[in-house]
Amino acid sequence: MIKELSEENQKKIEKLVISKNFSEIEKLIFSLKKKEQENPFILNLLGVCKISKRVSNQEIAKEEAKKSQELFKKAYEKGLILSGVSAGAVCWFEWILSDSMGGGFEPLKGINLVEGSCTPHSDNIERINEFGFNIKNNKLPKGVAIDDGVAVVFIDGKPTEVYSSINNHNAYFLDKNTKINLKEYIKNI
């Protein structure tokens, strides 16, 4: 039992988790009292909801996005592990190269927990070229590009490890003059 939650809210959450109704879980979380929202279990559950819904700028209203960002920042400050796939993996950065707006690749502000920029799916040549172009032209700060099937571990805002489940897929560090394998970059920081 989560001591900060009423028994009624706990039962509602359990029922929604079993049904995997992420939209309703998210609504319930935002209806909770602030103290209840800050519970580590609730913060992690909100992260699961957001990642499961593949958060993009268009999927949630600005007010909900602001509330989510505040909760994610609190979770990060409390030392909880934050993770994600695709948009859910890059949202933690200061800036993102995204195609979620429907007009091709565009720089988009992230939650700003990790300095710099990031783009997922960088095994897509068009995407990684656009990412490099935006960095060279000062539209994005230096950053990390992550191929499909690759996970990057960050501790205190710095990349520390890279894992790949697909042969020849990697992550890269890019600045105005350089594109290097992130594993090599990590050795030198």
Active site residues: 86, 121
Determine the Cα–Cα distance for residues 50 and 39; give it in Å rounded to an integer: 17
DSSP string, 9-34: HHHHHHHHHHHT-HHHHHHHHHHS-H
Given a contact cutoff of 8 angstroms between Cβ atoms, the answer to whether 151 and 163 are in contact is: yes
Determine the Cα–Cα distance for residues 163 and 181; give it in Å rounded to an integer: 12
